[in-house]
Structure 1
Amino acid sequence: MTATAAPLDLLLLPTWLVPVEPAGVVLKEHGLGIRDGRIAFIGPREAALKQPALETRELPGMLLSPGLINAHGHAAMSLFRGLADDLPLMTWLEKHIWPAEAKWVDEAFVRDGTDLAIAEQIKGGITCFSDMYFYPKVASDCVHNSGMRAQIAIPILDFPIPGASTPDEALRQGIELFGDLKHHPRIKITFGPHAPYTVCDDNLEKIRVIAEELDAAIHMHVHETAFEVQQAVEQTGERPLARLGRLGLLGPRFQAVHMTQISEDDLALLVESNTSVIHCPESNLKLASGFCPVERLWQAGVNVAIGTDGAASNNDLDLLGETRTAAMLAKAVAGSATALDAHRALRMATLNGARAMGLESEIGSLEVGKAADIVAFDLSGLAQQPIYDPVSQLIYATGRDCVKHLWVAGKQLLDDRQLTRMDEQQLTATAIAWGQRISGHSE
């Protein structure tokens, strides 16, 4: 960047800068410059200080990384956090969550729950999230107003859902929303058939055709439990992933969420189709759904991203904590202490998520020209000392309370742990009021 160029809007001077691409690199005493919402400069501190900048921020003891990407969740379900804990998946869904949704979910619920989730995620270092829930237009309005980035998956099931009485109606709404937001700089619309056991072949075929026409992604729960796979094999003689392959849904635009059950044939299908897998370790652990073999997938060349799932089954939207769990679990499942090291774990929580959503040219790493979606982690605390490898320290010794600042497209959404565009007290009060209504303490 020459000195004659327009001045930077903001120059950040952290102790460490972790670009994620190239892999494994840690830049010490470097600066990052932002202009017009994009990364315009990365270079040694000395060169950075020669860049004309409208604002310069010293970030001593901080690590700058790409914003975390939460590749799967159900944002509005934050209002069901802790509602029905310690139950198996189908009992949890059929006896508790689905009845609660039928009773409570409307546009107001989705708006308030999504706002709560967005605020929690910003405070946890997340700059982009994938959401799959009812009233997707309401959720996209929340994202638009918050300044955050998101992939909104249109939920499609064979039976009526809040906001859409038929799958065709849900698809029509999805196509309309896709058209409305096609040029939105921070929102991407995808199609979200719920799961192989809730969507028939005819509807999957319709979704495939529409997604192909629009060049849209498909986001779906697949192989979440052994029971799901076993039931499909007993009923049809076919594993769900094989069925999706036969129907032509798998491919680089397909995001297979969970995948705790992976046979050799499943692995070959994932590799051959270039399908992404979204790993949600804590939800899988809590619901005893099984273990996604992350290292096996990674070594085979499958793109694995990470998601929290919804707060009703996690119970938090803490992607940094999720990434630590993923790294630990990968080692236990692979039987190897070298599986999913800290640097690869961070890549899974950033660039791999961007790649799964088709956004890798825009976000997921700190590179000149990309959108300035950035998080600053404070590693100056007692519990982070001494620091040999700041990325190891981030993954294994740091909690989301160390998230200090956050920018999306160069706009600061978190400044010294304070939300800049959302009222935390109001969000908390609203969530408490919903909790009282849902638990029956007030009408």
Structure 2
Amino acid sequence: METVDLLISARWVIPVEPDAVVLEHHAVAVRGRRIVDILPASEAAQKYRAAEHHELPEHALIPGLVNAHTHAAMSLMRGIADDLPLMTWLQSHIWPTEARWVGTEFVRDGTRLAIAEMLRGGTTCFNDMYFFPEVTARVAATLGMRASIGMIVVDFPSAWARDADEYIARGIDEVFDAHKGEGLISACFAPHAPYTVSDAPLARIRNLADELDRPVHIHVHETRHEVDEHVAKHGMRPLARLDSLGLLGPNLVAVHMTQLEDDEIALLAARGASVVHCPQSNLKLASGFCPVARLLDAGINVALGTDGAASNNDLDLWDEMRTAALLAKGVAGRADALPAHAALRMATLAGARALGLGEEIGSIEVGKAADLVAVDLARIETQPVYDPVSHLVYAAGREAVSHAWIAGQAKLVDGELTQLDGREIMTNAAAWAARIAAPERA
């Protein structure tokens, strides 16, 4: 018998690639960080001796979920200013709170809270955009969480940098160079939005992204107001400006995209850009509807993100999958506009591809990293099971996630975090809430 480090036998293995395939009574063998075999469970028992063997007779084994857009540290601002329009929410509440409180401790504690929430919900990789990205990277690396860390850029000063040049310099030095070659931490450029970053830094980011082959992660076409103001100021829509600067290409990760015309969809497809859909945040802020079915029909890679917990108000990709599938049907007027297997693909392989990680994660394939999640379908809420993929999207939720592995290392076992103390994290969150909610002293 051959020796492996980990063998997981499950009622259903859902690899995502090939599309819409379900393997019944199969096992996944892991040696080190990587998947080395996928085979019937009965054969696996004869072929492999495993240091650790998990038999999950009523579970679906899927690739770890990929949250393709979030602001992890903002979990400490969950619920701070709800039911407000985007710009009112930002300008009157979020930005003043950030100016007062955001620093290394805030980002450290907020990121730990976010990672704990994501792992409990089966998210094994997240793409972040926030201040002090080196702190987010350090926390993720320490906890063995896979993360794409956005090197944030805005024109205005913050507690982290004075101007766009310093944002870029610190991002390259403290994120890209500091974590180069690390298996779980990658970097992307993260200019906040066309309305907060001017042409010169955007052009420089384009050159650096091309040179370093890094994604460019940016909010764009989030609201009608944003687009109208941009046209008034620049004489063109935001996407056209990004294209004129050479940013619209395979490295672009365009977030939200609720305001799109037919020619813009065709342009996105022609340039090979990816879109990240954040349906619940868009709905909560009344930003609009991303035309997901039209994007997919055009062959565009569409991933899923939660946005930050301050605008969602959670980091639950199961809710995003369900909302995305239902909303796409309503917007398109077609029940088949976004089937369950396509929604699951958006939350896994599409996210990985958007972040340049499609060869590493996002599907259960031999040679890929063992980022895996087990979902318990032996629950009242998911009985009977005719189609496990349908249940994952329309019936199950994050509470059904029982196990999570990243690069073959257990991060969640029987619903319990292996490296994080939930009570400590909750105590820290409560302490931050008391500080943030306290009246500001003159």
Equivalent residue, structure 2, for 1:66: 63
Cα distance, 1:162 vs structure 2: 2.3
Q: Secondary structure at the match of 1:55?
A: strand
Q: Which of these residues, 4, 8, 11, is aligned with residue 7 of structure 2?
A: 11
Q: Structure 1 residue 236: deviation in Å?
A: 2.1
Aligned to 1:137: 134
Q: Which residue of 21, 31, 34 corresponds with 1:35?
A: 31
State the Cα distance separating 1:54 from its structure 2 match: 1.8
Where 1:52 maps in the other structure, the secondary structure is strand
How far residue 265 of structure 1 moved from its aligned partner, in angstroms, is 1.8
**Contact in 2 for aligned 1:436/1:442 (Cα 8 Å):** no
Structure 2 Cα separation of the partners of residues 282 and 331 of structure 1: 15
Q: Which runs of 5+ in 1 are unaligned?
A: none
Secondary structure (helix, strand or coil) at the match of 2:341 reads helix
Displacement of 1:53 after TM fit? Answer: 1.7
Confirm or deny that 1:86 pairs with 2:83: yes
1:249 to 247, 250, 264: 247
Q: Once the 2 structures are TM-superposed, how far is the Cα of residue 52 of structure 1 from its aligned partner?
A: 2.1
**Structure 1 residue 235: deviation in Å?**
2.3
Q: Residue 96 of structure 2: which of 99, 111, 132 is its match?
A: 99
Identity of aligned residues (%): 57
The CA distance in 2 between the partners of 1:180 and 1:137, in whole Å, is 9
Change (3 A) 1:442 1:430: farther
Letter in 2 for 1:385: Q
Q: 2:155: which partner in 1?
A: 158
Which residue of the partner structure matches residue 201 of structure 2? 203
**C-alpha distance in 2, partners of 1:58/1:267?**
45
User: 5 Å matches for 1:428-439?
Assistant: 428-439=426-437
1:46 and 2:42 matched = yes
- Contact 2:151–2:172, Cα closer than 8 Å, also in 1: no
Amino acid at match of 1:406: A
The 3-state SS of whatever aligns with 2:69 is coil
Q: Deviations over 1:248-270 (max 9, x none)?
A: 01111110000001111211210
CA–CA separation in structure 1 for the residues paired with 2:262 and 2:388: 37
Counterpart pick for 1:318 among 294, 316, 321: 316
Q: CA deviation at 1:243?
A: 0.5
Residue 420, structure 1, aligned to residue 418, structure 2:
yes
**1:258 matched to 2:261:** no
| Alpha-carbon separation, structure 2, partners of 1:150 and 1:367 | 20
| Cross-structure match for 1:21 | 17
Following superposition, the deviation at residue 46 of structure 1 comes to: 1.5
Q: Which amino acid aligns with 2:113?
A: L
Q: Distance in 1 between matches of 2:6 and 2:82?
A: 45
**Alpha-carbon contact 1:67-1:373 (below 8 Å) kept:** yes
**Contact kept in structure 2, 1:260 and 1:292, CA below 8 Å:** yes
Cα separation, 1, equivalents of 2:183 and 2:440: 41
What CA distance in whole angstroms lies between the structure 2 residues aligned with 1:161 and 1:24? 46
Matching residue's letter, 1:318: D
- Deviation of 1:442 (Å): 10
Which moved further from structure 2: 260-269 or 241-250?
Answer: 260-269
1:219, distance to aligned residue in structure 2 (A): 0.2
AA aligned to 2:367 is G
Partner SS state of residue 165, structure 1: coil
Q: Structure 2 unaligned runs (5+)?
A: none
The counterpart of 2:360, out of the listed 339, 359, 362, is: 362
Q: Is the 8 A contact 1:158 1:198 kept in 2?
A: yes
CA distance in 1, matches of 2:110, 2:141: 15
Quick check: 1:376 aligned with 2:368? Answer: no
Give the direction of change, closer, same or farther, for the CA distance of 1:442–1:13 in structure 2 (3 Å limit): farther
- Indicate if the aligned counterparts of 1:295 and 1:334 stay in contact, CA closer than 8 A: yes
**Following the alignment from structure 1 to structure 2, what is the Cα–Cα distance between the partners of residues 432 and 295?**
41
| 1:371-425 deviation line (CA, Å, top 9, x unaligned) | 0000000000011011110010111001100000000000000011100001110
Corresponding residue of 2:289: 291
RMSD (Å), alpha carbons? 1.0
Q: CA deviation at 1:233?
A: 1.5
**Which amino acid in 1 is paired with 2:223?**
T
Q: With structure 2 as the length reference, what TM-score do the two structures score?
A: 0.98
Structure 2 CA distance for aligned equivalents of residues 221 and 278 of structure 1: 9
- Does the 8 Å CA contact 1:245/1:269 hold for their aligned counterparts? no
Q: Which amino acid aligns with 2:323?
A: T
Superposed, which structure 2 residues align to 1:258-407 within 5 Å?
258-407=256-405
Instruction: Tell me the alpha carbon deviations over residues 308-340 of structure 1, each in whole angstroms, 9 at most, x when there is no partner.
Output: 000000000001111110000000011101111
1:123 to 2:120 alignment: yes
**Aligned with 2:331: secondary structure?**
helix
Cα distance between partner residues in 1 of 2:262 and 2:231: 16
Matched residue type, 1:311: A
SS of the residue aligned with 2:50?
A: coil
